[in-house]
Amino acid sequence: MAPHRKSRPPSPMGIRTPALATAALTSVALLSQTANASPSEEPRPSLEEVEKKVGDLYRQAETASEKYNAAKEKTTKQKKRVDTLLDDVARRTEKLNDAREELGTFAAAQYRTGAAAPDTASLLLADNPQDYFDQTQLMDRLTSRQKQSVDDYVTQQTATTEKRQEASESLETLTRTQSSLKTSKADVQRKLATARDLLSKLTTEEKARLAAIERQKQEEAQRKADELARQQAADAERRRQEAAQSTGTSTGTGSATGTSGSASTVKADKALAFARAQIGKPYVWGASGPGSYDCSGLTQAAWKAAGVTLPRTTWDQVKAGTTVSVNSAQPGDLVFFYDDISHVGIYIGDGMMIHAPKPGAYVREESIYYMPIHSVVRPA
């Protein structure tokens, strides 16, 4: 007979297979790790992502700045128009009151003589005097002087009503432009605040690396500027030789910039002299001098010093002259950047410009290749 084997009592945790036991231990370990882990944090952006984001924000802020400049200019013009209209309405109202007073004098005289006083009084109270005339025979009972006074009154009332309506519409337009101005200002401030916040979170090492990336961009832009300078010098020499050959002499004076001392050259020189004098002054969005500038504020002020009035915004300045090729750029020309034409500088030659770059920077000389070029315009 086989020996009797005593069965093993069941485990208090119940019967588990080896696979189930392993899974249970794994679950416990994972739960323990989850419990001990710190709360999840948003992934930190790479330095390249920060640089791109900050650059995009500065560009967006500059675009918003140009919208602010446009709204500010429109608001200023609209306010002047409203003030003029209100002054006109006040003068016309005064004339209307004088005409009404004269009619009142006639009405009183007619009342004393028993004439058509009630009709004249009704005229003064009528909403539309001309309609009143069409419905009565008042004019037949007035003297020539009285008729003239009535005509003057009707004319003044009509003109005053029209001017009041025009002033009211202009006030509504002013309100809209002021709202647009406020919106653009808030948009600029919001984007700049976001850019500052991103930069403030960089470590010292990251800031150093960001500065190195900036230097590389500057060096590449300068290389392209030097290449353009060589090309322009070669083109100028070729034109000089062609001019010399056409005149039968070896000492021609033709150049890429036209006749020396021409009116356009003198103006360009004055604009450049002004721009150079602003180097070192801070970029401030919406500013047009004398202590600070944004990009279009600087170019506008520079050409104003030369006696040329440019519009305020980049979008209008790009239309204020003749478009030329980059290779044909001359000192004083305006160089516009980006597809949305949100930045501008003034060309000084050799592939370089003077411009007000961005928030936190100062008016400086820089290669025109630091940013993607949109077009070059020679102010009229």
Residues involved in catalysis: 295, 343, 355
Peptide bond into 290 cis (omega under 30): yes
User: Nearest-CA neighbor of 353 among 325, 318, 326?
Assistant: 326
Q: Are the CB atoms for 334 and 344 separated by under 8 Å? A: yes
Give start and end residues of each alpha helix (H) in the chain: 18-36, 47-113, 117-125, 129-135, 144-200, 204-247, 263-277, 295-305, 314-317
Unique residue bearing structure tokens 């007000």: 356
Distance (Å) of CA 327 to CA 42, 62, 228: 48, 27, 7
14 sits in the region (left: phi over 0; alpha: psi -120 to 50; else beta) called left
Angle formed at CA 53 by CA 48 and CA 54, multiple of 5 degrees: 100
Torsions phi, psi for 323 (to 5 deg): -75, 135
User: Nearest-CA neighbor of 166 among 72, 78, 77?
Assistant: 78
User: Nearest-CA neighbor of 59 among 370, 364, 346?
Assistant: 370
The pair of structure tokens assigned to 126 is 């009528």
In 102-244 the beta strands, taken as DSSP E runs, fall at none
Distance of CA 2 to the CA centre of its chain: 102
Q: Are the CB atoms for 137 and 131 separated by under 8 Å? A: no
Taking the C-alpha atoms of residue 258 and residue 266, their distance in angstroms, rounded to an integer, is 11
